[in-house]
């Protein structure tokens, strides 16, 4: 595909917007380039983050994320692949954070702490102070036995002891600032964003034609033959979270959190003995702190559960009392959050294919049609489109976003075909 060919992106979550940014600000372009012609990009999405937040459903995961970066050691080939994506993303996020104030980009470099009440796995146990954990220069420290003893002695006697812990530097993202920041940048380079629910890839092509983004008639003769062979066929990227077409291995993982006004200076994660998680994720730019959170597979409850909220706040009080909530235990609650992580069991889908779509043409106004029985009816015609899939990021959509966008650009440009090598499971993560 030529770098100037148009691309239709379905979805306006972090995956879609990062891809659009990567296409419009190619890293190979010299800095301060004066290029005025950019690749035409049309984004079609049912939900866009610049709508009033009260109208944005839990299925638009990107607005409801924490969002912090908590690394996972590369203990399997799949996790090694994710680590590559995470390290690429770490570099891009830090680059943005050093270029723009956090009140603009919504990104900030922030200290992190992790605590495990469970026994660490072998890969975690193998980590040593000075290792690269989140990325180069992260000042990674494993807590010593003395550190753990001091920590546990200071906790409530009823609390489960912490068995392993670490500190390092990471970044946090405030989606309410970051998503509009990406939108503003891609729109400045000509990306069009249209709010529309899309039913099928044929529908996407139809909408793009109606908007004048694609020519109203597909090419004929040699052009049509080339399109059928994949050259010149419209490219559609499916970044709809769980996939446009039914995907039997996609499910949502419900996450409920609470946004509080207090601005915590670091992100803390505690993996509890009973399998639950407790965490604080500050939202840069004065956005308060997320107190979380749940991971409920296949749970589509859109409303917050009061009992869950009380549990989350209760644990934050128990573990972070004094340091965060103040001696009086007061938390200034802004509101409950419910989001559905778009999870694809067995792997994020990163691949490309040519597919035939059925377009229905209205022939009622066609002067070339001599068959009066067709007047006012539609006739079916097939067309070839290139579909690039980029969905199923589960709980890691932010921390893998720039790495994923790089892979998607390769697929869009036809520099990679995707397939098995990119099909990796992205675990449910907060």
Report cis status (omega within 30 of 0) of the bond before 67. Answer: yes
Task: Decide: 118 and 274 in contact? Cβ < 8 Å.
Answer: no
CB count within 10 Å of CB 204 equals 26
- State the DSSP code for 37: -
Q: Which residue reads 């299925």 in tokens? A: 59
Identify residues 129-188 at the interface with ligand FAD (CB under 6 A): none
Select the residue interacting with ligand FAD from 20, 60, 288, 407 (CB under 6 A): 60
Residue 251 interacting with ligand FAD (CB under 6 A): no
Closest separation between CB of residue 340 and ligand FAD, Å?
6
Select the residue interacting with ligand FAD from 218, 241, 285, 287 (CB under 6 A): 241
Residue 13 interacting with ligand FAD (CB under 6 A): yes
Select the residue interacting with ligand FAD from 105, 235, 257, 289 (CB under 6 A): 257
CB count within 10 Å of CB 265 equals 11
Q: Is 78 exposed, middle or buried (0-12, 13-18, 19+ CB in 10 A)?
A: middle
Select the residue interacting with ligand FAD from 64, 168, 181, 324 (CB under 6 A): 64
CA angle, residues 339, 340, 344, in degrees to nearest 5: 155
Identify residues 369-388 at the interface with ligand FAD (CB under 6 A): none
Task: Give the Cα separation of 194 and 198 in Å (integer).
Answer: 11
- State the DSSP code for 373: G
Closest separation between CB of residue 290 and ligand FAD, Å?
7
Helix, strand, coil share of the chain (percent; to 5): 30, 25, 45
Task: Give the Cα separation of 111 and 246 in Å (integer).
Answer: 40
Binding range to ligand FAD, per CB under 6 A, among 22-30, 54-62, 143-151, 407-415 = 54-62
Q: Which is nearer to ligand FAD, 95 or 364 (CB)?
A: 95
Residue 107 interacting with ligand FAD (CB under 6 A): no
Report cis status (omega within 30 of 0) of the bond before 177. Answer: no
Binding range to ligand FAD, per CB under 6 A, among 322-330, 353-361, 394-402, 408-416 = 394-402
Residue 300 interacting with ligand FAD (CB under 6 A): no
Query: Own/partner pairs for 304-313, CB < 8 Å, 24+ apart?
Result: 304/256, 304/336, 304/337, 304/338, 305/256, 308/256, 309/256, 309/258, 309/336, 312/256, 312/257, 312/258, 312/278, 313/258
Q: Which is nearer to ligand FAD, 165 or 397 (CB)?
A: 397
3-state secondary structure of 166: strand
Binding range to ligand FAD, per CB under 6 A, among 8-16, 107-115, 212-220, 405-413 = 8-16
Task: Give the Cα separation of 86 and 69 in Å (integer).
Answer: 8
Select the residue interacting with ligand FAD from 12, 23, 93, 409 (CB under 6 A): 12
Select the residue interacting with ligand FAD from 21, 39, 68, 424 (CB under 6 A): 68
Q: Which is nearer to ligand FAD, 165 or 394 (CB)?
A: 394
Please list, in sequence order, all residues whose beta carbon lies within 8 angstroms of the beta carbon of residue 129, skipping any fewer than 6 positions away: 140, 141, 142
Residue 296 interacting with ligand FAD (CB under 6 A): no
Binding range to ligand FAD, per CB under 6 A, among 28-36, 73-81, 234-242, 407-415 = 234-242
Site string for ligand FAD, 399-418 (x = CB under 6 A): x-------------------
CB count within 10 Å of CB 50 equals 13
Task: Give the Cα separation of 196 and 204 in Å (integer).
Answer: 9
Residue 266 interacting with ligand FAD (CB under 6 A): no
Residue 197 interacting with ligand FAD (CB under 6 A): yes
Closest separation between CB of residue 276 and ligand FAD, Å?
14
Contacts with ligand FAD by CB under 6 A lie at 10-16, 44-47, 60-62, 64-68, 197-198, 239-241, 244, 255, 257, 293, 339, 341-342, 391, 393-399, 430
């Amino acid at each position: 595909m030529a770098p100037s060919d148009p691309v239709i992106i379905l979805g306006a979550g972090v995956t879609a917007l990062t891809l659009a940014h990567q296409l419009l600000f190619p890293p190979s372009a010299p800095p301060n380039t004066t290029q005025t012609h950019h690749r035409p990009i049309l984004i079609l999405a049912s939900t866009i983050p610049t709508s009033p937040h009260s109208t944005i459903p839990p299925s638009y995961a990107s607005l409801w994320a924490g969002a912090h970066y908590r690394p996972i050691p590369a203990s399997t080939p799949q996790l090694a692949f994710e680590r590559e994506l995470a390290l690429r993303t770490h570099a891009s996020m830090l680059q943005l954070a050093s270029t723009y104030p956090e009140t603009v980009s919504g990104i900030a470099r922030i200290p992190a702490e992790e605590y495990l009440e469970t026994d660490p796995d072998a890969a975690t146990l193998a980590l040593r102070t000075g290792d690269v954990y989140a990325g180069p220069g992260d000042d990674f420290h494993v807590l010593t036995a003395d550190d753990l003893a001091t920590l546990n002695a200071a906790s409530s006697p009823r609390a489960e002891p912490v068995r392993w812990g670490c500190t390092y530097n990471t970044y946090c993202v405030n989606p309410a600032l970051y998503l509009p920041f990406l939108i503003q940048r891609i729109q400045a380079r000509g990306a069009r964003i249209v709010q529309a629910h899309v039913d099928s890839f044929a529908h996407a092509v139809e909408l793009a034609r109606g908007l004048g983004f694609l020519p109203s008639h597909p090419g004929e003769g040699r052009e049509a033959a080339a399109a059928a062979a994949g050259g010149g066929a419209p490219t559609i990227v499916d970044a709809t979270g769980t996939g446009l077409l039914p995907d039997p291995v996609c499910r949502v993982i419900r996450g409920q959190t609470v946004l509080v006004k207090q601005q915590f200076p670091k992100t803390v994660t505690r993996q509890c003995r009973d399998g639950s998680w407790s965490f604080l994720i500050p939202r840069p730019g004065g956005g308060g702190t997320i107190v979380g959170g749940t991971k409920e597979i296949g749970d589509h409850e859109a409303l917050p559960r009061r009992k869950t909220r009380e549990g989350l706040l209760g644990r934050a009080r128990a573990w972070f009392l004094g340091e965060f909530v103040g001696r009086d235990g007061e938390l200034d609650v802004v509101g409950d959050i419910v989001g559905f992580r778009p999870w694809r069991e067995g792997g994020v889908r990163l691949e490309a294919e040519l597919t035939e779509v059925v377009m229905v043409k209205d022939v009622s106004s066609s002067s070339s049609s001599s068959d009066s029985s067709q007047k006012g009816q539609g006739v079916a015609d097939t067309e070839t489109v290139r579909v690039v899939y980029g969905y199923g990021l589960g709980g890691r959509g932010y921390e893998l976003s720039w790495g994923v966008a790089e892979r998607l650009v390769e697929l869009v440009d036809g520099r990679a075909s995707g397939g098995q090598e990119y099909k990796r499971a992205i675990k449910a993560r907060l």
